[in-house]
């Protein structure tokens, strides 16, 4: 038993020295940030991030087995901010049913798997998650074969609709159809692929799920043009990363890392030009906004328990929000989704970051 003890001693000594060094360098209130999660991530030198692993564009393995996608880049951003290295990351695939227990038990540090923020998931009496800012606005939609001639919800009366069990879709669709006075039969599936295979085999006349998933799966159909999305978002599905409610300091750090991605887009700081922008900010004291944002002056990072230059690390690793969206979901990618509600607020979308000051 002597050896592990000695090691632990050396480890905490090193952490203490680092803290002292950080205090001396920034003179910020680093000592006041107490987050067990941040300390745990630092001591294991790895962020454990929960992803879905089976949603096109959001997370799926490439043919080398490396996970890629929107969720994965979010994990990389957080790893880069906390540990300074986007590679210090362990990706755990979590399922619809296991994701909340995985966060609450501390099995994963961060749930990056697209999860809709709802009251009952956020509330202490519900799943007790702590949601970050919305990183993707989605909405439940319905896809039908063009040949069916269905263009409106009430035409779905009496049809069988393929659904995913465990998602919020079923309640949303049920409510919407009830309002229309339409009845339907639901065919529930545990897995996305099974639901779409059933739809393609004609076992149901329509399939309903978040529109990003509908569009993504349609892009893999033999004849994508033969299927139509009704185009009426039946619900708000604001998807956000989540952490355990027990550690508010960690939740704050995650929240502002996501905001940093959006703020960087607002300021026009990209993966390619972040070095130049940083040099500019260093040279020019008049760029106060950018100097604070990139950690040249002030102690915004330390207030979160992060390095002051965490934004530089994040943007160097994954780029800003618009770049991540374009890389995996946007019109340049295989999926080719339009940016829609996920544009910046100044462009007419819903993405917006509070000020970094």
Binding residues for other proteins, rule: CB under 8 A, are: 40, 53-57, 59-67, 90-95, 97-98, 101-102, 104-107, 190-193, 196-197, 216-217, 219-222, 333-335
Q: Is the dihedral of CA 174, 93, 76, 131 positive or negative?
A: positive
Task: Give me the least distance between CB of 216 and other proteins, in Å please.
Answer: 7
Q: C-beta of 11: minimal distance to other proteins in Å?
A: 13
Q: Which is nearer to other proteins, 158 or 224 (CB)?
A: 224
CB-nearer residue toward other proteins: 89 or 144: 89
Residue 320's alpha-carbon distances to 48, 113, 315, 334, in angstroms, are 22, 19, 6, 20
Q: How far is the CB of 193 from other proteins (least distance, A)?
A: 5
* Min separation Cβ 238 and other proteins, Å: 22
Q: How far is the CB of 263 from other proteins (least distance, A)?
A: 28
Q: Which residue number, 111 or 264, has a Cβ lying nearer to other proteins?
A: 111
Q: What contacts 24+ positions apart, CB below 8 Å, involve 87-92?
A: 88/45, 88/46, 88/47, 89/46, 89/47, 89/49, 90/46, 90/47, 90/48, 90/49, 91/49, 91/51, 91/53, 91/59, 91/67, 92/48, 92/49, 92/50, 92/51
Whole-angstrom distance, CA of residue 147 vs CA of residue 22: 65
Tell me whether residue 197 or residue 345 sits nearer to other proteins (CB atom): 197
Evaluate whether 132 touches 236 at the Cβ level (below 8 Å). no
Task: Give whichever of 61 and 139 is closer to other proteins, judged by the CB atom.
Answer: 61
CB 342 → other proteins: shortest distance, Å?
A: 18
Concatenated DSSP letters for 271-298?
A: TTTHHHHHHHHHH-TT-HHHHHHTTSSS
Among residues 172 and 335, whose Cβ is nearest to other proteins?
Answer: 335
């Amino acid at each position: 038993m002597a050896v592990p003890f000695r090691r632990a001693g050396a480890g905490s000594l090193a952490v203490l020295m680092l803290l002292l060094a950080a205090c001396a360098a920034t003179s910020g209130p680093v000592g006041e940030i107490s987050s067990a999660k941040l300390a745990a991530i630092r001591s294991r030198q790895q962020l454990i991030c929960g992803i879905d692993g089976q949603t096109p564009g959001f997370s799926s393995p490439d043919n080398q087995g490396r996970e890629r996608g929107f969720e994965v880049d979010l994990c990389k951003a957080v790893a880069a901010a906390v540990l300074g290295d986007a590679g210090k990351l362990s990706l755990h695939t979590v399922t619809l049913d296991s994701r909340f227990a995985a966060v609450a038990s501390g099995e994963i540090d961060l749930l990056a798997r697209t999860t809709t923020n709802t009251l009952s998931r956020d509330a202490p009496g519900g799943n007790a998650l702590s949601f970050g800012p919305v990183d993707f606005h989605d909405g439940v939609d319905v896809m039908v074969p063009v040949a069916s001639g269905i263009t409106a919800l009430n035409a779905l009366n009496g049809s069988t609709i393929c659904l995913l069990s465990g998602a919020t879709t079923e309640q949303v669709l049920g409510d919407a159809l009830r309002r229309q006075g339409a009845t339907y039969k639901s065919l529930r599936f545990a897995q996305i692929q099974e639901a779409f295979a059933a739809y393609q085999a004609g076992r149901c006349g329509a399939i309903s799920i978040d529109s990003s998933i509908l569009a993504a799966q349609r892009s893999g159909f033999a004849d994508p043009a033969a299927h139509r999305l009704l185009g009426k978002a039946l619900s708000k599905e604001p998807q956000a990363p989540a952490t355990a409610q027990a550690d508010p300091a960690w939740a704050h750090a995650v929240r502002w890392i996501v905001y940093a991605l959006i703020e960087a887009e607002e300021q026009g700081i990209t993966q390619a030009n972040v070095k130049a922008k940083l040099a500019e900010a260093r040279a020019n004291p008049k760029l106060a906004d950018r100097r604070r944002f990139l950690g040249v002056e002030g102690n915004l990072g330390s207030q979160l328990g992060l390095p002051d230059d965490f934004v530089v690390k994040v943007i160097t690793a994954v780029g800003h929000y618009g770049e991540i969206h374009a890389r995996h979901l946007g019109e340049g990618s295989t999926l080719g989704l339009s940016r829609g509600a996920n544009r910046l607020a100044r462009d007419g979308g819903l993405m917006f970051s509070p000020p970094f000051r």
